[in-house]
Structure 1
Amino acid sequence: MQPYSHARLRHSWLPLRPCPRLLPKESSNTSDAFDTLIESFAFPEKFDFVDIDLGRIRRAARAPQARQLTLHLAIRDAPAESPAAQALSDLDAASFKLFCTPVVNLFQRDATSIQLTSTDRAYPVTPEPLETGTPLDVYSIDAVRLGDRTQSEHEKGASSSTAAPRTAVLPYRALSHGRQPDPTVAYWTAFRDPYAAAGNARAPILLSLIGLDGGSAQVRHPQIDVDVTATNGDLPSRLPIGAPDSDLVHEGAALACPIRLLTQPTLPCSHARGHGALWRVVAGLSLHPFDLTQTGLKAFKDFLRLHAPRTNIVAQRSIDAIVGLDHQPAMKWMSLDGQFPSFVRGIEIVVSLEESALRDVTLHLFARTLDRFFAPYAPTNSYVQLIIRSSQAGQELHRCPARSGTRPVI
């Protein structure tokens, strides 16, 4: 291979771009900051992926006939006793895998049709089982429709143009009731019955039809059809991995392709909902959910714990590593929203960490995850910049790029 001059090469961490994402997008109005936070705590292995532009590296090498390229990564400001240096000491070629992608056990499924009765007020939502007969669990309810008792069976063999229309039912807890709500329209609500859970299994999800007043609604249609996003529950976490041929089978693939799992699938988990947990999540959606001082440190860490599974020791340890929170005014020559560059007043937010507690977490990823939460602390004509500082040495560990504020200017 011929030597080549140094060039600025592009690389990016896949999960910090708008896609790919593992969990379904709830709505177009949800913040990417919360999506990144939830997935970084739930799927930490997802963030081990890096995208390197090998085509640009080859062009920079100026050796079109080369059959082998050697990529050198220069690491700076990493003392030998730091967690980053210790992790890199065991790095070798076996630590890298090509053609990998994160996957999640979620898929679209129809639920078994629900037959309405005059006595029941709540009905179990049961996804139609797979060919193996393994029972499925409901991750989310995507659509609810009212129809005739024989309509669903007829529609399976009919085209969309000849199928009889069904009446869509909107969710009760949503901002879709309209300015002039109709008291005769029914809405759906769902909940899990904690008393019906057997052993360690999740409680079944129940669906009810109610009116605007929250009472039971009477409808003319005899059947409810439900579309859900389903999952196999804890079954993937109990499957053996490392088979020589393939761990998974792609049923719809035209060509056979082995699918091997690098790590054991994680156990499903759900966040706490009692003791005002949901209200604390809603409070965190405000523009200033906590003070950017040492006084607001506890509220900041408590808010992060609302999105971290209690069984995830690494996530809990990462939150414990945050020991300081402060801010200071700043000014930077920059361009906002593509406008002409100028001096812009902004705010620098300083988060102090104990480096020793982050030995299992990438500092760059943890900083970028926190960075997205602080955009509402500045108006749209200003900027926010997060700085990560070592609590032991007091030195700056990471400085995130300045991002425009999102708070509306009145």
Structure 2
Amino acid sequence: MTNPRLLRYYSQELQHLREMGGEFAVQYPKIAGRLGLEGFECADPYVERLLEGFAFMAARVQMKIDAEFPRFTQHLSEIVYPHFLAPTPSMAIVQLQPDLGNPALNAGYKVARGAPMRSVLGKDDATACEYRTAHELTLWPIELVEAKFFTNGGTIAGVDARLPANAKAGLRLRLRTTNGAPFCKLGLDRLTLHLRGSDDMPGQIYEKLLGVAEGVLVLPGSRPAGRHTLLPKTALRPRGFAEEDALLPSGQRSFQGYRLLQEYFAFAQRFLFVELTGLGPAVNACAETELEIIVLLSRGDARLEQALDASNFALNCTPVVNLFQRRADRINLSGDQFEYHVLPDRTRPMDFEVHQVESVTGYGIGTDAEQEFHPLYSARDLGAATVASQAFYQIRREPRLLSQRQRQRGPRSSYIGSETFITLVDAQEAPYRHNLRQLGLVLWCTNRDLPLSMPLGVGKTDFILDDGGPVLSVRALA
């Protein structure tokens, strides 16, 4: 597709040539007459074609000059904080439904951070969307059967515990094992809750749990005398702010606060997680199949007292992100080309988009002919003496141009995406001289716009966990 700026520059240059030709004809009419220039018109078609060709070349030079302005800042941003330029991947909250009858759950089944899962293919889909978990998650054979917000003391009447003096309200959660085993048979020490609901309900619950909590009371479901455990308010902590819970990758040179801002404005629900820690002693002392957790609060809320129920909390949840590592198809190098198009998969170019370049390696003839390339503006010694250490690359991103077919029929979604190009240079930013034949890249990729067409809530599951385990289904909640 023709860049509209090229037409604008071409028109400006051609107009300038005609005006200058008119001025030249006034001052030197005899010479101008030989060229067919009379005022602002040119009678000679050959001279007219020369003027148009020169205007086209001058317009292209103008575009090249314009392209140089953002080049340095773009390359520098790729090093300092590449996520400002990288496409924002799809994010979601998923809930894993464990096989509650599996005895292996008694010890807790861990789903590691970064565990891959793939979407179920739709009718006309050829590529499954690949997501990775952001939180480490432990599955237990328990369910949340009741949740209630209260502001009267009757809910905790009969509990022989010395409660905090500021406790004026509370949030009661009732848990139950699903396999009939008592809680003392489980190794449960911490529990993560995902807050759900319409409008600002999750935010209000979040503020109560982490802002006005005075303590956490844990006791068996039958409330026997002397069998309670009072935990401090620090037992409640937010999840999603630590670096080990990050959705988007970031380097050591990047300020983590920028990542948090980007994740918040892109997907605020990923922070609606609260973890309850220090449950081990209370769980080990509970020989029943039900366990009560009462969060004592210093302030009540009439709306929560009327509307809050168990549907506002979800167990076995984690944020996931459509971001995965992939080896790109090898790029064949040639001596007359300085920039190359990076394609994760040539057979399905529309199903993948480059988020970040992890590593670049050149390959020559023989197994030992390898050359590693580094980002040009990385924190390396550019004055190194060896030629091997003078190999660098630069990345350039451009908005993707629609094909002729897409311009006629329209794109498959509203998201077009970007394309990535790589250039090999030396320490002086000149073209890198080499005898390499191919270029291999390790990339962080997304599935471009494929998540927009995922068939969610249709079949038995929305995602399939690669590692398997005692998981019946994985559903997308947000």
- Provide the residue aligned with 1:72 in structure 2: 294
Give the SS at the match of 1:37. Answer: helix
Amino acid at match of 1:167: Q
Q: Distance in 2 between the 1:6 and 1:65 partners?
A: 14
Aligned counterpart in structure 2 of residue 31 of structure 1, from 255, 268, 271: 255
Report deviation, 1:171.
Answer: 0.7
For residues 5 and 254 of structure 1, do their structure 2 counterparts lie closer, same or farther at Cα, with a shift above 3 Å needed? closer
For residues 254 and 13 of structure 1, do their structure 2 counterparts lie closer, same or farther at Cα, with a shift above 3 Å needed? closer
The question of whether the paired residues in 2 share the 8 Å contact of 1:247 and 1:260 is answered with: yes
Q: Distance in 2 between the 1:218 and 1:258 partners?
A: 53
Larger Rg: 2
The question of whether the paired residues in 2 share the 8 Å contact of 1:111 and 1:226 is answered with: yes
Give the SS at the match of 1:33. Answer: helix
Give the SS at the match of 2:441. Answer: strand
Q: Distance in 2 between the 1:245 and 1:188 partners?
A: 46
For residues 208 and 88 of structure 1, do their structure 2 counterparts lie closer, same or farther at Cα, with a shift above 3 Å needed? farther
Q: Distance in 1 between the 2:306 and 2:383 partners?
A: 63
Question: How many residue pairs are counted as aligned between the two chains?
Answer: 242
Q: Distance in 1 between the 2:419 and 2:258 partners?
A: 27
Give the SS at the match of 1:120. Answer: coil
Aligned counterpart in structure 2 of residue 187 of structure 1, from 392, 397, 401: 392
Q: Distance in 1 between the 2:398 and 2:256 partners?
A: 31
Q: CA RMSD in A?
A: 3.0
Report deviation, 1:40.
Answer: 2.1
For residues 237 and 74 of structure 1, do their structure 2 counterparts lie closer, same or farther at Cα, with a shift above 3 Å needed? farther
Write out per-residue CA displacement over residues 76-121 of structure 1, whole angstroms, 9 at most, x where no aligned residue.
Answer: 34665xxxxx567532101111111111111110111111122222
TM-score, normalising length: structure 2: 0.45
- Provide the residue aligned with 2:332 in structure 1: 115
- Provide the residue aligned with 2:275 in structure 1: 51
Give the SS at the match of 2:244. Answer: coil
Report deviation, 1:127.
Answer: 0.7
For residues 129 and 103 of structure 1, do their structure 2 counterparts lie closer, same or farther at Cα, with a shift above 3 Å needed? farther
Instruction: Give the structure with the higher percent helix.
Output: 2
Give runs of aligned pairs for residues 6-405 of structure 1, distance below 5 A: 7-9=230-232, 10-25=235-250, 27-53=251-277, 55-56=279-280, 58-59=282-283, 64-77=286-299, 86=303, 90-128=307-345, 135-148=351-364, 164=368, 166-180=370-384, 185-194=390-399, 196=401, 200-253=415-468, 257-263=472-478
Write out per-residue CA displacement over residues 291-312 of structure 1, whole angstroms, 9 at most, x where no aligned residue.
Answer: xxxxxxxxxxxxxxxxxxxxxx
Report deviation, 1:195.
Answer: 6.5
Report deviation, 1:209.
Answer: 0.8
Which of structures 1 and 2 has the larger relative contact order (alpha carbons within 8 angstroms, sep 6+)?
2
Q: Distance in 2 between the 1:176 and 1:45 partners?
A: 39
For residues 205 and 18 of structure 1, do their structure 2 counterparts lie closer, same or farther at Cα, with a shift above 3 Å needed? closer
Write out per-residue CA displacement over residues 109-144 of structure 1, whole angstroms, 9 at most, x where no aligned residue.
Answer: 0111111122222111111379x9962111100000
Give the SS at the match of 2:451. Answer: helix
Give the SS at the match of 1:28. Answer: coil
Give the SS at the match of 1:38. Answer: helix
Amino acid at match of 1:249: I
For residues 128 and 32 of structure 1, do their structure 2 counterparts lie closer, same or farther at Cα, with a shift above 3 Å needed? same
TM-score, normalising length: structure 1: 0.52
For residues 225 and 87 of structure 1, do their structure 2 counterparts lie closer, same or farther at Cα, with a shift above 3 Å needed? farther
Report deviation, 1:34.
Answer: 2.3
For residues 205 and 93 of structure 1, do their structure 2 counterparts lie closer, same or farther at Cα, with a shift above 3 Å needed? same
Give unmatched runs, 5+ long, in structure 1. Answer: 81-85, 152-162, 264-410
Give the SS at the match of 1:259. Answer: strand
The question of whether the paired residues in 2 share the 8 Å contact of 1:197 and 1:203 is answered with: no
More deviation, 68-77/45-54: 68-77
Amino acid at match of 1:113: R
Percent of aligned positions that are identical:
22
Instruction: Give the structure with the higher percent strand.
Output: 2
The question of whether the paired residues in 2 share the 8 Å contact of 1:15 and 1:46 is answered with: yes
Give the SS at the match of 1:117. Answer: coil
